[in-house]
Chains A and B, each alone.
Chain A
């Protein structure tokens, strides 16, 4: 992996003349975990699509890119709320999807190793229907990791999991994604309070930054006093914005 650049989205996004978000100025520093909270329909997913280069039909009056001036294409990986696993492929083949789609030689050894790191040893041959929701998200995380992109976009990846699995996945993701530039969109103030080295609230009027405590560093314990206090502040801001 090359050094992780910071990324930015500036300006206003419109679809068919209707404003989706903005004007705003989002910058996510290189190598840090930026969480974006906000009510539904405020344009969080469109924001990520602008960074991923998949915002078809969206007119961005402004710019999105990396702060090192090089294009973002080819340096971004995405993990979404729905695991986006191909139901006809085994766990291993789902991790190898990127290689196959690019026409590269499939790195089966590396994929198996990553699935092992996700705690999925012995499940490489299983199809998604034979995996639990948590296991499917682990496969999706392994697929994100094998891409080895410096910028990782997370679109509510853990919101379909129960509390315990979500906490486990948050720790695992924080571990394996450290050092990358992460832009993480979520509904859950507690999740942002655990993971964010920066926490932002997106409202129809723009972005608002809530500075997390200097210590402890993420991933913070879910029941630590500082985490709970930050969760409270974030929740208050979301309520005020509503």
Chain B
């Protein structure tokens, strides 16, 4: 174990990112070489990068649309999920009435709802935001609600002895104590929200990376499709890392560490 740690140290941070990428690229070229894949089935990494550069304008235009949908979905999902979790934690009646519905939102496959949402919210921005929202609503609500209900019993007992009102306990103890739970819900949202937006775009759109992928696929421009997937993956990864770093910073600062 000690030896392994030492080796990891020597490889370094950059190496830990670059090496797996090199392995994947190597395998990719290997597959193409071994089975003699035609370009429209599996383009080489070099071709994908070249296409990414050549089609940078069209990819950027469409990526900006998807990113907007994802960010709006996360903002709205965080807001509505946060409010729902607080509502559920405040009221036993709300728990009885709405918790089964909450699970239902997760039990329904979002894929099945996509056509309906497109019908309701149109072919534009709205239906994609709704999809992203729907897919992250449950993880955000659930993570935050669980954390709200798990506030340490000793703190709650102290608050009772002090003569606290339930609303003030929620505001001054439960919510701040549950912030880490809310933030881990947001981290999940960063990974799930792009899935929702892309499904929305597949079902019906005239803009966005999902639309571009379908278009490229239909015209056997597999390299363009791969380029769009790559951009989407990098965006999702970046979003996750950004939310992760932001959460750590928020928690670190507020505890004065």
Contact with A along B150-171 (1 / 0, CB 8 A): 0000110111111111001100
Report whether A74 and B163 are in contact in the complex, using a CB–CB cutoff of 8 Å. Answer: yes
A109 CB, min distance to chain B CBs, angstroms: 19
> Assuming the A-B contacts A54-B157, A86-B173, A88-B176, are A102 and B163 also in contact, with contact meaning beta carbons closer than 8 angstroms in the complex?
yes
B169 CB, min distance to chain A CBs, angstroms: 7
In the complex, which residues of chain B have a beta carbon less than 8 angstroms from the beta carbon of A77? 161-162
Say whether A167 faces chain B, with CB atoms less than 8 Å apart.
Answer: no
Contact with B along A74-98 (1 / 0, CB 8 A): 1011101010101110100000011
Q: Chain A interface: which of B14-22, B88-96, B137-145, B249-257?
A: B249-257
Report whether B161 and A102 are in contact in the complex, using a CB–CB cutoff of 8 Å. Answer: no
Cα separation A98 to B256 with both chains bound (whole Å): 22
Closest to B251 in A: A88
Q: Which of A49, A52, A53, A88 contacts B254 (CB 8 A)?
A: A88
A103 CB, min distance to chain B CBs, angstroms: 6
Cα separation A86 to B158 with both chains bound (whole Å): 11
Cα separation A80 to B160 with both chains bound (whole Å): 14
Cα separation A100 to B176 with both chains bound (whole Å): 14
In the complex, which residues of chain B have a beta carbon less than 8 angstroms from the beta carbon of A147? 162
B191 CB, min distance to chain A CBs, angstroms: 27
Cα separation A84 to B177 with both chains bound (whole Å): 12
Report whether B161 and A76 are in contact in the complex, using a CB–CB cutoff of 8 Å. Answer: yes
In the complex, which residues of chain A have a beta carbon less than 8 angstroms from the beta carbon of B177? 86
Closest to A76 in B: B161
Say whether A224 faces chain B, with CB atoms less than 8 Å apart.
Answer: no
Q: Which of B158, B163, B172, B254 contacts A78 (CB 8 A)?
A: B158
Cα separation A80 to B176 with both chains bound (whole Å): 21
In the complex, which residues of chain B have a beta carbon less than 8 angstroms from the beta carbon of A14? none
Say whether A10 faces chain B, with CB atoms less than 8 Å apart.
Answer: no
B178 CB, min distance to chain A CBs, angstroms: 11
> Assuming the A-B contacts A101-B169, A101-B172, A103-B168, are A84 and B158 also in contact, with contact meaning beta carbons closer than 8 angstroms in the complex?
yes
In the complex, which residues of chain B have a beta carbon less than 8 angstroms from the beta carbon of A127? 254-257
Say whether A126 faces chain B, with CB atoms less than 8 Å apart.
Answer: yes
Say whether A178 faces chain B, with CB atoms less than 8 Å apart.
Answer: no
Which of B154, B158, B161, B164 has the most C-beta atoms of chain A within 10 angstroms of its own C-beta?
B161
Q: Which of A76, A82, A100 contacts B154 (CB 8 A)?
A: A82
Cα separation A240 to B75 with both chains bound (whole Å): 64
> Assuming the A-B contacts A82-B154, A84-B154, A86-B176, are A101 and B255 also in contact, with contact meaning beta carbons closer than 8 angstroms in the complex?
no
Report whether B256 and A101 are in contact in the complex, using a CB–CB cutoff of 8 Å. Answer: no
Report whether B164 and A102 are in contact in the complex, using a CB–CB cutoff of 8 Å. Answer: yes
B257 CB, min distance to chain A CBs, angstroms: 5
In the complex, which residues of chain B have a beta carbon less than 8 angstroms from the beta carbon of A98? 162-164
Task: Give 11 CB contacts A-B under 8 Å.
Answer: A53-B160, A53-B161, A54-B160, A76-B161, A78-B157, A84-B158, A97-B172, A101-B163, A101-B164, A102-B168, A127-B254
Beyond A76-B161, A97-B162, 18 additional contacts (C-beta under 8 Å) are: A52-B157, A77-B162, A78-B161, A80-B154, A80-B158, A84-B155, A86-B172, A86-B177, A98-B162, A101-B163, A101-B168, A102-B168, A103-B168, A126-B256, A127-B255, A127-B256, A128-B255, A129-B257
Going nearest first, the 7 A-B pairs with the smallest beta carbon separation are A127-B256, A101-B164, A54-B157, A98-B162, A88-B254, A101-B168, A87-B255
